[in-house]
Structure formats: C-alpha cells, structure tokens
Amino acid sequence: MPPLLAVRDLAFHYPDGTPALRGISFDVERSERVALLGSTGSGKSTLLQHLNGLLTPDAGSVTVAGFAVADDTVREVRRRVGLVFQDPNDQLFLPTLLEDVAFGPLNNGVDSHEAIHRARAILEELGLVGVESRPAHHLSGGERRLAALATVLVSRPDLLALDEPTGDLDAVSRSRLVRLLTTRPETLLTATHDLHVAAALCERGVVLHRGVVVADRPLADVLGDRELLERHGLAAPLDRSGGAPSTRPSGWRRAD
C-alpha cells in the first residue's frame, strides 16, 4: 500500500525570491505519528500549507492517499488532510462556534441536520459543550485551540496536520490538548519547536533547517542527539537535575 502522504523534491520560493523549501522528500505511513521539528524560519508552516494546496510548489509534488495535489484534486485532498493553523483565529470566522464547526461538513455537501449533529458530537468529544453559541473572540485561548481542532476533526480527515498546536497555551491548557491528541486515531504530522510536545505525541522526528530535511529518525534518537538539536536551534532545556530532558514530560503518557 502506498504511503498516506508522499512529498517528493518539494521546492518553494517566497515572492521576494527567498527559498523556503529546497527539495524536501519524505513519506508518512498510515497511523504514523510524526513530529516535524525546526526553529522559526525552517519551513515547517510553508510545508504544511502545501499538503492541501494552499500553496503551489515551484517544483516537486505532494501526494495524499494516491491523489497528487493539483487544481482538479484539491477538494478531495482537503477532505483527507485536516490542517490546523498556528493561529486558531484563522479558522474561526462565523458568528458562533457551532456554525464554525458545522461549516466544513456543509461545504462538503453534508445536509444541514447531519452537519449540526456532527458538529455537536465533536464539540462534546473535545469538552466544548456549553460554548456552542459563543463567537470565537469570547473563548479562552485554550478553548480557541480546541475549537480550531474541532473544525478539522468534524470532517473526519485521514491526516491531521498541526502547526505549533500548543504555541501560545498556558501549562494547563497545553497538557489538556496534548492528552486529548494522544487519544486521536488519525495519522498525525505535528510541526513544532517544542520538543516536550513532540515527545508526548510522536515516535518519529523529521528535522527541517532552512528548508532542508537534515534528519529523519526515530524521535528518541533525534531527542538524544544534543549536537543535532543545538546545531539547528532546537536545544532542549535541562531538567531539574541538570541532565538531558526527558523524552516524556512528567504526567504525560501516550494512550495505547
């Protein structure tokens, strides 16, 4: 069976000519949980935006579940790739949260009754019961993160692609979101510079630096290579004993 996601020789330049991606290639198999690691400016967000056709590459290709991303396949690809942006406000724009979450199924041709049913079900699953009638700007930061996730999960994607999913969350909200994500069945590609979050969620690490894949290994090997991390702006903090950080943050455990 072909991989769920195949990225081949992907290259992209910003409008001013600055290279963002320089011939990136990697696969993600079904049910894999992959951390896309890199410091700011490494190309993580740019790469994710190619997965469902938001950006068009200068060269190379992206294939999702056998569909090469192109103008005539982008609708099918977007049904299969659930992309959660770094800023949840980019995904929450309707008068109420319930309408925001129901928008995806409605846009995919699901009738209104079923779309509302699915929206309520995913909001309940994510612990957002009671705030369905609120607009996004009346939600807390943690609630907005969960709401943005709900707008993607409601469409039942094969691949869940997250861009810095815990970037602006406090410790409690971050722990809650990470624990929730460990229970999800979707194939996961998480772009982050937070090594603790990566360790809690993923088993494989793909390291980007200036638009190039510089490492693709089991995540435990990546996290144990302090020279690699420091060379690419990913040095993890020391633990309280002054040693290397744990690959599993205290109290966080992957669900079986």
For helices 141-153 and 171-182, angle between their N-to-C axes, nearest 10 degrees: 20
Of residues 17, 15, 74, the one with CA closest to residue 49: 74
SS3 145: helix
| CA dist list (Å): 27 to 3, 136, 166, 196 | 6, 35, 24, 23
Integer Cα distance of 101 and 114 in angstroms: 12
Output the pLDDT for position 109: 87
Average pLDDT over residues 13-21: 92
Q: What share of the chain is helix, strand, coil (3-state, %, to 5)?
A: 35, 25, 40
Q: Which residues have a Cβ under 8 Å from the Cβ of 15 and sit 6 or more positions away?
A: none
Q: What CATH number matches the domain at 5-231, 3.40.50.12500, 1.20.140.10, 3.40.50.10540, 3.40.50.300?
A: 3.40.50.300
Output the pLDDT for position 252: 38
Residues 184-243 have pLDDT tens digits of 899 999 999 889 899 999 999 999 999 999 999 999 999 999 999 999 988 654 443 334
C-beta separation of 34 from 202 below 8 A: yes
**What distance lies between CA 65 and its chain's CA centroid?**
17
pTM of the predicted model, to two decimals?
0.88
Secondary element (H or E) of residue 35 = strand 33-37
Output the pLDDT for position 236: 58
**What distance lies between CA 158 and its chain's CA centroid?**
12
C-beta separation of 188 from 254 below 8 A: no
**13 strand-pairing partners:** 19
SS3 37: strand
Average pLDDT over residues 3-7: 97
C-beta separation of 90 from 152 below 8 A: no
Q: Are strands 19-28 and 5-13 parallel, antiparallel or unpaired?
A: antiparallel
**59 strand-pairing partners:** 11
Integer Cα distance of 179 and 41 in angstroms: 28
C-beta separation of 100 from 92 below 8 A: yes
Average pLDDT over residues 29-55: 95
Integer Cα distance of 33 and 165 in angstroms: 14
C-beta separation of 123 from 98 below 8 A: yes
For helices 97-107 and 141-153, angle between their N-to-C axes, nearest 10 degrees: 20
Output the pLDDT for position 240: 36
Helical residues (DSSP H) of 56-131, grouped into ranges: 74-80, 97-107, 112-125
Length of the chain: 256
Tokens of 10: 């992907």
Residues 108-123 have pLDDT tens digits of 889 999 999 999 999 9
